[in-house]
Amino acid sequence: MNLSLAEKHAIVCGASQGIGRECALALAELGASVTVLARNEQALAEVVASMSKRDGQRHELVAVDFVDPTRVGLAIKARVSSAPAQILVNNTGGPPEGPAHSATSEEYFAAFTKHLLCNQVLVQAVVPGMKAAGYGRIINIISISVKEPIPGLGVSNTVRGAVASWAKTLARELGPDHITVNNVLPGFTNTARLHALIASKAKRMGVSDEEVMAQMRAQVPLGRFAEPRETAQVVAFLASPAASYVNGINLPVDGGRTLSL
């Protein structure tokens, strides 16, 4: 099985922590040169310092805030002008919790800006290089809410669904150029965001964090939360030559939690 990413350049968004950070590390382990994006420059520098560095690998960081798609686009265009990318991992922090009906238009706008609009400008920046290379992998880390909306995450459910439909459309458009577009759908994953959601739910219910975690684990056939690296390994496979005929899918990484097919 060919998993080598030698001589490939990967761009990983939201790489300062959690799943994004582990994706950057996993892609580097397979031989890719990796450019990491997030707003926290110091955290990105620590990620770059921890990535494997074999002959020919060169890792870089781009500190940019996803509240401004124009700046994101300009930053990546500058990066790929000297180093075209063959792999793009779209990933950013989820919107605040709350019901869909009570969310403000500003909250919806902010979510669509960070998730869909920034994804779009990134794709437009990298696709020319992917076409020229005859190799492209666009991987969007979204959520199992694409298959089953999650109670209390109204804005997130909405924007994740939009990203999934956008990606399915791109898969058909870009497939003839040997560019695949796939979505990875994490379930309960041991990240700072999950623990913030747990703490918020426990406070509302008047119970301990441990009780909420026990209830959540009971929903997962494997009986535990995922570690970020477990999701990253799936992303690394989809980025590799071995996944050349996988295109346009929503792939849950949830321990069997999703009830739908």
Same domain, 152 and 208: no
- Average the pLDDT over 32-45 and give the result: 97
pLDDT tens digits, one per residue of 70-123: 999 999 999 999 999 999 999 998 899 999 999 999 999 999 999 999 999 999
Which residue has tokens 């009570």? Answer: 102
Same domain, 37 and 47: yes
As given in the structure block, the two tokens for residue 173 are: 């458009």
Checking if the pLDDT of 55 tops 90, the result is no
pTM: 0.96
Structural domain of 200: 190-225
Same domain, 77 and 172: yes
Same domain, 87 and 178: yes
Same domain, 149 and 214: no
Is residue 131 included in any domain, yes or no? yes
**Long-range Cβ pairs for the range 51-54 (8 Å, 24+):** 51/24, 51/25, 52/25, 52/28, 53/28
E strands, the chain, are 9-12, 33-38, 60-63, 87-90, 136-141, 179-186, 250-253
Q: What is the CATH number of the domain that holds 104?
A: 3.40.50.720
The pLDDT value given to residue 83: 96
- Average the pLDDT over 153-172 and give the result: 97
Is residue 19 included in any domain, yes or no? yes
Same domain, 154 and 167: yes
> What DSSP state is assigned to residue 152?
T
Q: In what order do the strands lie in the sheet with 9-12?
A: 60-63, 33-38, 9-12, 87-90, 136-141, 179-186, 250-253
The pLDDT value given to residue 60: 96
> What DSSP state is assigned to residue 241?
G
